[in-house]
């Protein structure tokens, strides 16, 4: 199969591209490199540099490449920034995907796997969270992704474009080779920041609040390895190719770790003390997010392989040690 991966030079996209190539697929990566890295793109993938919102560019990409299906990661994903600049998020995440769907419709490409998020739920009603629980995003990032899910539903009805939306929980880790991994600027995520402290690139990690209603007062999250996530995308495409209907799935390990627990495991994995300090809460952080991913396991036949936080942090540590300055190294 020939797959168009939008945002394939980014953190999650680049790992999915690897997995697709390892599975024998042909891959066209479309990326504007605003947050992506050329060096993250596998040498066997064809790279198309440009933007989803550029009509002429998109026509050329669809004319020149045979495309059987699309995986769409192209998005901004900083929750805090989205609150300050909602239009930037709706323009890129919602309007960008709208443009992509217009071209898919014109060129009769009718399968898409969409990168969605646990942020669509907002403050959860139940733990663990099920796909049909209430969706009430507390930030424009989550709202932009939920809006795309809704647009996809109507595009399926009207044009027969089949979709699978995958709602990721906290993605972490790196390819086991240590060749690709997480490199954001600015970095805002917990595990890479902790590892930057271990590397001596930062003095300490600020723990955002220890007064949440959790056992140690810090926020609880469900961490999932980026390669397990990659497997789920391949299975989701396979499921659509087998003629199954559009659907939405959670992707997490179903186990929650507090910020302090993550820190302790990282101290064990790295052998570094990793200085921390309690600071005030970060706006918009729910106390606890844990997925119920039973439907992904059953319907996608998804079997997570890196389902322990030690394994997740080990692969991330391997990447950070080999690439202390990310793709600049
Ligand atoms: N945290 C700290 N200190 C830091 C960074 C993070 O204490 O320096 C805490 C956060 O407050 C949170 C936890 O560590 O409790 C995890 O934070 P991340 O920033 O790593 O991840 P989030 O849970 O905020 O965000 C993730 C994804 C988003 C997605 C969101 C859904 O990265 O894209 O889950 O809620 F929107």
Give mean pLDDT, residues 108-128. Answer: 97
At 45, the pLDDT band (50, 70, 90 cuts) reads very high
Q: So what's the pLDDT on residue 329? A: 78
Give mean pLDDT, residues 17-45. Answer: 98
Which of 35, 187, 189 has the most ligand 1 atoms within 8 A of CB, as the residue to mutate? 189
Q: So what's the pLDDT on residue 284? A: 83
pLDDT averaged over every residue in the chain: 97
N- to C-terminal Cα distance for the chain?
A: 33
Ligand 1, atom nearest to 279 Cα: 7
Cis peptide before 128 (omega within 30 of 0): yes
pLDDT tens across 298-328, in order? 999 999 999 899 999 999 999 999 999 999 9
Residues annotated as part of the active site: 141
Phi/psi of residue 294, nearest 5 degrees: -60, -35
Q: So what's the pLDDT on residue 164? A: 98
Q: So what's the pLDDT on residue 192? A: 98
Distance 284 CA to ligand 1 centre (A): 10
Phi/psi of residue 196, nearest 5 degrees: -65, -30
Sign of the CA dihedral with 50 first, then 56, 58, and 63 last = negative
Q: Token digits for 54?
A: 């550029």
- Residue bearing the CA closest to ligand 1, atom 25: 170
Produce one character per residue of 31-65: b if its CB has 16 or more CB atoms within 10 Å, e if not: bbeebbbeebbbeebebbeebbbeeebbeebbeee
Ligand 1, atom nearest to 194 Cα: 8
pLDDT tens across 204-230, in order? 999 999 999 999 999 999 999 999 999
Q: Coil, helix or strand for 149?
A: helix
- Residue bearing the CA closest to ligand 1, atom 5: 190
Distance 189 CA to ligand 1 centre (A): 6
Distance 21 CA to ligand 1 centre (A): 30
pLDDT tens across 251-285, in order? 999 999 999 999 999 999 999 999 999 999 998 89
What residue ranges line ligand 1, CB within 6 angstroms? Answer: 77, 79, 117-119, 141, 170, 188-190, 193, 205-208, 219, 221, 259, 282, 285, 289
Q: Would you say the pTM of this structure is higher than 0.85?
A: yes
| Count of Cβ atoms closer than 10 Å to residue 177 Cβ | 12
Distance 196 CA to ligand 1 centre (A): 16
Q: Token digits for 267?
A: 């101290």
């Amino acid at each position: 199969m020939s797959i168009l991966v939008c945002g394939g030079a980014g953190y999650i996209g680049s790992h999915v591209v690897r997995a697709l190539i390892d599975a024998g697929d042909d891959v066209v990566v479309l990326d504007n490199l605003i947050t992506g890295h050329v060096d993250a793109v596998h040498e066997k993938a064809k790279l198309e540099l440009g933007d989803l919102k550029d009509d002429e560019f998109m026509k050329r990409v669809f004319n020149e490449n045979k495309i059987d299906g699309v995986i769409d990661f192209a998005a901004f994903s900083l929750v805090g920034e989205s609150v300050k600049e909602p239009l930037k998020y709706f323009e890129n995440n919602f309007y960008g995907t709208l443009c992509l769907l217009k071209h898919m419709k014109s060129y009769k490409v009718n399968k898409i796997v969409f990168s969605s998020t646990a942020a669509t739920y907002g403050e959860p009603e139940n733990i663990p969270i099920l796909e049909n629980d209430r969706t009430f995003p507390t930030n424009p990032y989550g709202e932009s992704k939920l809006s795309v899910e809704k647009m996809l539903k109507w595009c399926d009805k009207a044009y027969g474009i089949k979709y699978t939306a995958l709602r990721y929980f906290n993605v972490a880790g790196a390819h086991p080779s240590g060749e690709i991994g997480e490199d954001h600027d600015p970095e805002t995520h917990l595990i890479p920041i902790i590892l930057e402290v271990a590397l001596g690139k930062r003095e300490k990690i600020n723990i955002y609040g220890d007064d949440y209603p959790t056992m140690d007062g810090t926020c609880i999250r469900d961490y999932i390895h980026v390669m397990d996530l990659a497997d789920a995308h391949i299975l989701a495409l396979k499921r659509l190719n087998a003629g199954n209907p559009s659907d939405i799935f959670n992707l997490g390990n179903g186990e929650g770790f507090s910020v302090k627990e993550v820190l302790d495991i990282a101290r064990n994995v790295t052998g570094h003390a990793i200085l921390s300090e309690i600071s005030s809460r970060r706006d918009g952080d729910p106390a606890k997010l844990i997925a119920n991913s039973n439907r992904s396991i059953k319907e996608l036949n998804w079997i997570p392989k890196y389902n322990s936080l030690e394994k997740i942090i080990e692969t991330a540590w391997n990447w950070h040690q080999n690439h202390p300055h990310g793709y600049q190294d």
